[in-house]
Amino acid sequence: LDQGPPRGLREGMTPAQVRAVMGEPSRVGRQVLAHRALEYWHYSGEKAVLLTFDCHRGQPPRLSRIAAP
């Protein structure tokens, strides 16, 4: 049953804003690309969700995708 994103999460949030809502992720992964990186935050348990942050060079990271794991 798809319940949508956890309450308080929305695209465009900073990592600090996400931590304030969700706490620390259980796992973090990174993918380095040309001129940017993607950072994946995995949450497990009741708040199971996979968050993707788009980290463009010279700009603060922003939440770009909220998905079920």
Q: What are 33-59's pLDDT values in tens digits? A: 998 999 999 999 887 999 999 999 999
pLDDT at 1: 40
DSSP state of 59: S
Element of type H or E holding 19: helix 15-22
Specify the pLDDT at position 46. 81
CA distances from 25 to 3, 41, 69 (A): 20, 6, 13
Residue 10 pLDDT greater than 90, yes or no? yes
Cβ atoms of 68 and 48 closer than 8 Å = yes
Average pLDDT (7-27) is: 94
Cα(57)–Cα(4) distance, rounded to whole angstroms?
A: 30
Q: What pLDDT does residue 3 have?
A: 63
